[in-house]
Each structure stands twice: as C-alpha cells, then as structure tokens.
Chain A
Amino acid sequence: MSLHRRDVVKALLAERGGLLVVAGLGSTAWDCTAAGDHDLTFPLWGAMGCAAVMGLGLALAQPRRRVLVITGDGEMLMGLGSLATIGVQKPANLSVVVIDNERYGETGMQATHTASGVDLAAMARAAGFATGVLVRDAAGVGALRKMVHEADGPNFAQVKVAAEKVPLVLPPREGVLLKNRFRAALLGAGAALE
C-alpha cells in the first residue's frame, strides 16, 4: 500500500522539538503547513532548486540545531549539484527528505525524471551523504523519523508517495514576514536589529 504525502510529513514534524525546517516550493510547502504552520518552518514560494542548499546554510549557521529540508522530486532535480556541495561540507545536523510522487504536482502532474527510475538516494550516497535511503512503507517512515531527529548526517531520504491531489493548505506568502518570524523565533527579538 503506497504512502500518502501528508501522513509522511505529519509524522516527521510531530513533536518536532527545536527542529528547523526548510520546505521546498509547491506541494511540500503545503504539506508542512497542513502539519501545522510554524515560525521555525521557512516555506519557499520560489527559488526552485535551492531548498537543500538553503538547509545547508542554516545547518552551518546553527550547528547545534537539527535542520530538515522537506522538498519535492522536481525541486530536488533542479538542484542536484547541491547534493555534491552538501556532501563536501558534511553537516552532521542536516537531513534532506524528498517527497517523491514522480510528478510536477503544481503544473499538471507531468512525470519527473524519478518516474523513469532516476535514483536520488543513490545520487546522495554517491555525493558523500552519510545515509541515502529509499522509503516505501510505514515502517520506513518510522525509521526515517528517527534518522531526521537523531542520526548524524548529512542524511538523505527519497520517500515514494502516491501521486494524489490533496487540499491546498497555504502558508503566509510574504517573504519578509516569513524571514523575520523565523529569525525572531530562532535568534530572539534582537535579530531584527542586526
């Protein structure tokens, strides 16, 4: 039985503690919002291909916090070079989870490269990630949650999910608001004066 994207994201973000989250544009940003809008989630409305490397910048700046990038297969495919960049830096506190429905969900459900077998988890392993796993079932999601919250990284997971339309649950749109609320929650009110 195939996994459902909203269930996977909800499981990863339940009782998230101090986790810092970057959500790739499109469906994964809506998934994260559906799991509960949060000041320490930075949902992208643009910058396609930049989610993973934005997680890298955050992980390097905050080495004592765990950082999770949740993004889609199409978004990840646009930034494959960032897997190599992360593999070189090897931030132990970073996990990248790709919710892989094998489709460009926002543009008419056209097939992505992963529908033809492109193996993102193998690419991440080859790039130097500590782990690169393919997740297909509920047991795998349980292990993935443990990896995201506890294991030394950089960790990568490609989670195969059903290609389904789910209700839109949108986060705030304004970039400055999203940036300032994240920094205030992480760094304190004084961050606005930096």
Chain B
Amino acid sequence: MQQVLSQHRIGVVGYVPDGGHKRLIELCQADARMRSVVLSTEEEGVGLAAGAWLGGERSVLLMQSSGVGNIVNALATVRECRFPVTILVTMRGENGEFNPWQVPMGQATGAVLRAMGAVVHRVDNPADVAGQVEASLRIAHGSYCAAAVLIGQRLIGIKSFQEQANQ
C-alpha cells in the first residue's frame, strides 16, 4: 500500500494512529519523500491536506472510522473548494466488534462520508486493498474530491483486549 502512495507522489501523510494502520505509518515515516504528520484530531488532517494542495503537494489521511465523525464540517471545505484528498479508514464497530461505543460511528461511517460528497470504496479482501487505494487516489486527483477506502474490520482483525494483554 505504501508503494502505491509513493507511486502517486504523495508528499504528506496525516494520521491519527490506529492499530490497523500501524505498519503503513511505520513505512511512511521511513520514506524520506513523505512527510508524516501526527495529528491531535482527524479534522486537522483535512486542513493539512488543503494547505498542502495549495502549496502543490498531494496528501493522504489515515484514520479510524470513529475519526470520520470528527471531519464532517471540514469536508464541507473540501467539497466547496474541490480539494483532492484520499482518506484510508480502518473500520471499527462492525463484524464482531466487542466495544459497543464503536458501533454507532462504525455503522454510520460510509453514509456520513457520502453525505459530505466523498467517493467511498470498501475492501474486505486483502488482495483488493492496494487496487482500491490506487483507485481512490486516481479518483481524488482526477475529480478533485475526497475519496475514502473503508478497510473492513474482518480484514484487519477484531480487536480484543484479552489478546493485547497476552502479547
């Protein structure tokens, strides 16, 4: 996935960490051509991406599905100004989720993104991830819009505090 970002000349990667993004974040941090920016809230990432595009750089944002709830108003600016931005969302709140507080936002993630004008792709098969990320990068930059890939919880694995405790 990181190679796809590199091929598409992504210069800025904004993220609020999620377990499902751990390896990708490490690979982006190790790539001297990408500036990795840790955010205090996902909304900052949308502003970051807009500013970077004004300056000629392409951006990708990494966040968990709960973070999509934090970017809703900022997506209004993306739509009004037609800023290209690709958002890779690791899903929680579906497929055997053990934490009930994650379920409402997880179930609403796709609808919220679509309501704000984002193009939404979803992947549940590991073999499809790189292709869907590439498709989202193409549509974001080809159509000057927000494009999101929802990476299904079945693909990432279900979080379990018991398993974490045993690691």
Contact = CB atoms under 8 A, between A and B. Distances in A.
Interface of A: 20, 22, 42, 44-62, 65, 79, 81-82, 84-85, 88-89, 175-176, 178-179, 182-183, 186-187, 191, 194
A-B interface, 3 closest residue pairs, ranked by CB to CB distance from nearest:
A57-B51, A61-B55, A81-B40
Contact of B77 (A47, A81, A82, A85): A47
A62 B57 CA distance: 9
A192 to B, nearest CB: 11
22 contacts: A45-B80, A46-B76, A47-B50, A50-B44, A50-B47, A54-B47, A57-B48, A57-B57, A57-B59, A59-B51, A60-B55, A61-B54, A61-B55, A61-B57, A81-B40, A81-B41, A81-B44, A85-B39, A179-B53, A179-B54, A179-B81, A183-B56
Contacts of B51: 22, 53-61
B81 to A, nearest CB: 3
Contacts of B11: 60-61
Contacts, number: 126
Chain A interface secondary structure, helix, strand, loop or mixed?
Answer: helix
B47 A82 contact: yes
Nearest to A174: B80
A85 B44 contact: yes
Given A53-B48, A186-B54, 20 more contacts: A20-B54, A20-B55, A42-B54, A44-B77, A47-B46, A47-B47, A48-B73, A50-B47, A56-B48, A57-B47, A57-B52, A60-B52, A60-B57, A81-B39, A82-B40, A82-B44, A85-B37, A175-B82, A183-B56, A191-B56
A47 to B, nearest CB: 4
A92 B67 CA distance: 29
Chain B interface secondary structure, helix, strand, loop or mixed?
Answer: helix
Q: How large is the interface on B (under 10, 10 to 19, 20 to 34, 35 or more residues)?
A: 20 to 34
A176 B82 contact: yes
B68 interface: no
B30 to A, nearest CB: 17
A57 B11 CA distance: 10
B143 to A, nearest CB: 13
Interface in B34-90: 35, 37-41, 43-44, 46-57, 59, 73-74, 76-77, 80-83
A178 B81 CA distance: 8
Contacts of A57: 12, 47-55, 57, 59
Contacts of A84: 40
Given A60-B35, A175-B80, A175-B82, A53 B52 contact: no
Contacts of A183: 53-54, 56
Contacts of A182: 54
